Chains A and B, each alone.
Chain A
Amino acid sequence: MKGLRRSTTSSSVPSTASPRLSPSWIHLRSLLILASATSPRRGSLRSPWTKRKRKHSLSHRHWHNLLSPDGKFHDGGVKFIKKVRSGGVDPSIRAEVWPFLLGVYDLNSSSAERSITGIQKRKQYESLRRKCQQLLDQCHRGDRLKVIDEVSNSVSSIFNKDCKFHDYEDDASTRPSCFSAEYLYNLQDDHSIHDGYYSSNLSYFEKEYRDQLTSIDRYAWGAESSSSESSLEDENELLLASSISDSCVEHDPILTKIPSIRGDFSEYNRTPEDFATWQRIIRLDAIRANAEWVIYSPELAAVSMEKALHSAASVGLKDYEDLDPGMVYHAARMVAVLEAYAVYDPEIGYCQGMSDLLSPILVVMEEDHEAFWCFAGLMRKARQNFRLDETGILRQLNIVSKIIKCKDLHLYQHLEKLQAEDCCFVYRMVLALLRRELTFEQTMCLWEVMWADQAAIRSGIRKSARERMRLRAPPADDLLLYTIAACILQRRKLIIERYSSMDEIVKECNNMAGTLDVWRLLDDAHDLVLTVHQKI
């Protein structure tokens, strides 16, 4: 908030025409640098995200006090969400807390219910892994073409037969949606996979597909169709889950066209990516993951060579000769979870950048199946950014652009002058949720605050008027975008006075790593939510 005040103050001062920094600004800036350098441990977890009301992260003790003996929140999770929104989570309880923040567990669930859910989810993950293994074996045997053919055939028969649960079945453009739901359904050899969470994702896919034209061929990526009939009961389950989640699934409106460099986007001719491609790129990215996480999880890093080699072998990971056992183990887990996700959500499959999102989760959640479901929870929103047609990411960039325009017209006009008002320079920040710009710990803090906002919205936690006053900003589904806009607004002076081309802004953004103060960014983002959210 303070940071934004600063920028508001500076925006009220008309900038001089001179491209050089005025001496007074240089003076002010050195003061700011000094101030940020001396502020006590702002980047650490102990920092609050408002200076006025310094708050600590959710501690181990506080966490357990929030829960009744049957493991339910006393108040439906209101205090929990509020606490995490303001200060994040203590590292010692992250593994317990993240599944709640990411929607793996319902905020109203009891311990007993969670243990049942946990068992189901474990089975579902194992089933996805078995499917991955089959696909891997098939690829190795080189009978992909045959498999693709089989899938295509069975898919068309499913399509002709089982499209009853769509009210838009006559529309040719909706075919892939029907296909996708059924297809995914048939992909699973374990019917227990259809619990609420999974089914809600199916309906999610359906919605997605309605909005776009995709080719059925894109999905013929070498899966074997294990069964082509589904019981009426299961269909009803799907239908039910679909109608329930329809109300809470966010709609992705057709993107308003972003000008300048995106002009020829829609005519762009895409070649489909197949599962084999994903398998290859996943392994490539898993091996080149950096070792930043090691100090956060010495136990995982100290895994035995035997265990590391075993897990590498189990997912067919090669080319890791130069890596320590801990890195090999991490890479193997990454392959396992990302591949399972590609099977779980074949519309998105694997896209580079997703490994950046998974890495912190793998470090916190020691079991692969737990990591998988947390990752799937994170992807529920983030998957939009990885869509093949890029409409999700473009919509996000458009929102960042709007926030800047609302808050700081002067900066926006400067961006227009440089043909950079589409904010493509924040592409990486949006896609990797600031993972590349922040340290490991900072990333986790930001994400926790972000997830808490999303969890509040998901579970319909509404604040009383008094609460709203105290918390100031309402939970925002797009807190990340406000944070990124805050990041750019913090550099408004530099951009307006020093930068005369988009290249320079791209460079600035690519070199931000290690220079950001996550809590100050959140202060500013919070303030932006309060001031411009209604207008966006």
Chain B
Amino acid sequence: MAYKADDDYDYLFKVVLIGDSGVGKSNLLSRFTRNEFSLESKSTIGVEFATRSIRVDEKVVKAQIWDTAGQERYRAITSAYYRGAVGALVVYDITRNVTFDNVERWLKELRDHTDSSIVIMLVGNKADVRHLRAVDTEAATAFAERENTYFMETSALESTNVEKAFTEVLNQIYQVVSRKALEATSHSTSLPKGQTINVGKDDVSAVKKAGCCSS
């Protein structure tokens, strides 16, 4: 899982981070991409993104992770950025029930705007604040099973499970992409190297690059 140079990758996956305000989306992102955490990270206005490349199955996967504003009011602009996403982390705060209750709405919105093959992980963040826990792990697990999403509890502050959550999502996306590629090749034997593989509604993500000499 070494950090790689920015332009040297085999796949580019777009992943979105969604969930209520203050659940820790920006810190999950900064923990994963820069190994940083800030108690005074400002509210995200509109959208921001960061990237990190990891190795999956001998391939370099570049994750482009979009961090969005959590407030209801920003949803029109943020939902526009779902376009082309192949993975999503739906985040809630384990110390605030309301943020877990709202997950259902976030999921609905996500599914309305993205392809059905999108890989979704439910993330219960702030797991380090044990004494204030309001959402049971069991309840969240059951919910994730019902909604057919992956689930993990994380702490961006203590750096617990953050790496694991993102890499799991990227791994799963990779599996989807590989499966689709395999299906495509079985249908057409003449798929040239460098073929764009659509896993989302359009081809923003999951572009298999044509060898090492492409720019």
List of A residues within 8 angstroms of B75 by Cβ: 268, 270
Interface status of B137 (Cβ within 8 A of chain A): no
Closest to A507 in B: B49
Evaluate contact between B73 and A436: CB separation under 8 angstroms.
no
Task: Give the segment of A239-247, A402-410, A426-434, A463-471 that binds chain B.
Answer: A426-434
Flag whether B47 is at the interface (Cβ < 8 A).
yes
The reply to whether A281 and B22 form a contact with Cβ atoms under 8 Å apart is yes
> How far is it, in angstroms, between the C-alpha of A181 and the C-alpha of B40 when the chains are bound?
37
Q: Which chain B residue lies CB-closest to A290?
A: B40
Expressed in whole angstroms, the Cα–Cα distance for A432 and B79 within the complex equals 20
Contacts of B105 in A (CB 8 A): 271
Q: Is B83 an interface residue (CB 8 A)?
A: yes
Q: Which residue of A lies closest to B98 (CB)?
A: A280
Interface flag for A291 (CB, 8 Å): yes
B-facing residues in A402-459 (Cβ within 8 Å)? 424, 427-428, 431-432, 436
Q: How far is the CA of A281 from the CA of B83 in the complex (A)?
A: 27
How distant is the Cα of A438 from the Cα of B81 in the complex, in angstroms? 25
A364 vs chain B, min Cβ distance (A): 20
Most chain B beta-carbon contacts within 10 A, residue among A290, A322, A510: A510
B44 contact set on A, CB distance < 8 A: 352
> Is B74 part of the binding interface, using a Cβ–Cβ cutoff of 8 Å?
yes
Q: Within the complex, what minimum Cβ distance (angstroms) separates B113 from chain A? A: 8
Which residues of the partner chain B approach A19 to less than 8 Å between Cβ atoms?
Answer: 215
**What are the residues of chain B within 8 A of A291 when measuring CB–CB?**
40
Q: Are A503 and B49 in contact (CB under 8 A)?
A: yes
CB distance from B51 to the nearest CB of A (A): 9
Q: Within residues 336 to 379 of chain A, which ones have a CB less than 8 A from any CB in chain B?
A: 351-353, 355-356
Instruction: Report Cα–Cα, A264/B113, bound state, in Å.
Output: 10
Question: A506 and B49 in contact (CB under 8 A), knowing A281-B21, A289-B40?
Answer: yes
Q: How far is the CA of A356 from the CA of B83 in the complex (A)?
A: 29
Q: How far is the CA of A261 from the CA of B40 in the complex (A)?
A: 31
Q: Which residues of B contact A436 (CB under 8 A)?
A: 42, 45
B13 to chain A, nearest CB (A): 13
User: CA separation between A322 and B157, bound complex, in Å?
Assistant: 14
Instruction: Tell me the smallest distance from the CB of B115 to a CB of chain A, in Å.
Output: 16
Count chain A residues whose beta carbon lies closer than 8 angstroms to a beta carbon of B: 37
B72 engages A510 (CB within 8 Å)? no
Which residue of A has the minimal Cβ distance to B102? A271
Q: Once the chains bind, are B40 and A353 in contact (CB under 8 Å)?
A: no
Chain B contributes a number of interface residues (CB within 8 A of A) equal to 29
| Residue among A270, A356, A393, A506 making CB contact with B42, cutoff 8 Å | A356
How far is B73's CA from A356's CA once the two chains are assembled, in angstroms?
Answer: 17
Residues A432 and B80 in contact, CB atoms below 8 Å apart: no
Q: Which of B53-89 contact A (CB under 8 A)?
A: 64, 69-77, 79-81, 83
The answer to whether B72 and A270 have CB atoms under 8 Å apart is: yes
Contacts of A503 in B (CB 8 A): 49, 64
Cα of A431 to Cα of B76 in the assembled complex, Å: 15
B97 within 8 A of A: no
Instruction: Tell whether B35 is near chain A: CB-to-CB under 8 Å.
Output: no
Provide the bound-state CA to CA distance between A386 and B45, in Å.
Answer: 11
Please indicate the chain A residues that have their CB under 8 angstroms from the CB of B39 in the complex: 288, 322
A431 to B72, CA, bound (A): 16
On whether the beta carbons of A506 and B47 are closer than 8 Å, the reply is yes
- In the complex, chain B residues whose CB is within 8 Å of the CB of A352: 21, 43-45, 69-71, 73-74
Encode contact with B along A243-270: 1 for CB under 8 Å, 0 otherwise. 0000000000000000001101100101
0/1 interface trace, chain B 29-54, chain A, CB 8 Å (1 if under): 00000000001111111111100000
B73 contacts A273, CB within 8 Å?
A: yes
Interface pair B76/A284, CB less than 8 Å apart? no
Flag if B49 contacts A285 (CB, 8 Å).
Answer: no
Cross-chain contact of A390 among B41, B43, B76 (Cβ < 8 A): B76
Chain A residue contacts of B64, Cβ below 8 A: 503
Question: At the interface, yes or no: A388 with Cβ under 8 Å from chain B?
Answer: yes
If A268-B75, A281-B21 touch, whether A355 touches B43 (CB-CB below 8 Å) is yes
A432 with B21: CB separation less than 8 A: no
Check if A271 sits within 8 Å of B72, measured CB to CB.
Answer: yes
B43, A353: Cβ atoms closer than 8 Å: yes
CB neighbours of B79 from chain A (8 A) = 264, 268
Residues of A within 8 A of B48 (CB): 506, 510
Decide yes or no: A431 and B45 within 8 Å by CB, A261-B83, A290-B40, A291-B40 being known contacts: yes
Instruction: Give bound CA distance, A432 to B22, whole Å.
Output: 19
- What chain A residues lie within 8 Å of B76 (beta carbons)? 262, 265, 268, 390
Residue from the set A284, A290, A352 with the largest chain B CB neighbour count within 10 Å: A352
CB distance from B68 to the nearest CB of A (A): 12
Contact of B73 among A261, A265, A289, A388 (CB under 8 A): A388
Closest A residue to B67 by beta carbon equals A510
Query: By the criterion CB–CB under 8 Å, are A390 and B77 in contact?
Result: yes
Which residues of chain A (264-317) have a CB below 8 Å from chain B? 264-265, 268, 270-271, 273, 277, 281, 284-285, 288-291
Per the bound structure, the CA–CA distance linking A467 and B48 in Å amounts to 44
Distance from B207 Cβ to chain A, minimum over Cβ atoms (Å)? 11
Q: How far is the CA of A355 from the CA of B72 in the complex (A)?
A: 17
The answer to whether A281 touches B42, judged by C-beta atoms less than 8 angstroms apart, is: no
Which residues of B are found within 8 Å of A393, using beta-carbon distances?
77
Which A residues are in CB contact (< 8 Å) with B71? Answer: 273, 281, 351-352
Of residues A19, A288, A355, A356, which shows the largest number of chain B Cβ atoms within 10 Å of its Cβ? Answer: A288
CA distance A390 to B72 in the complex (A): 12
Distance of A448 from chain B, by nearest CB (Å): 22
Are the C-beta atoms of A428 and B40 separated by less than 8 Å? no
What's the least CB distance linking B105 to chain A, in Å?
7
Q: How far is the CB of A467 from chain B (nearest CB, A)?
A: 38
Nearest CB of A to B201, in Å: 12
> Shortest CB–CB separation between residue A503 and chain B, in angstroms?
7
Q: Which 7 A-B pairs have the closest CB atoms?
A: A261-B80, A427-B46, A352-B43, A284-B22, A428-B45, A288-B40, A428-B46
A–B complex contacts, Cβ < 8 Å, 6 sampled: A261-B81, A285-B42, A285-B43, A352-B43, A352-B44, A356-B45
Beyond A270-B75, A271-B105, 8 additional pairs, beta carbon < 8 A: A268-B76, A270-B72, A288-B39, A322-B39, A351-B73, A393-B77, A428-B45, A436-B42
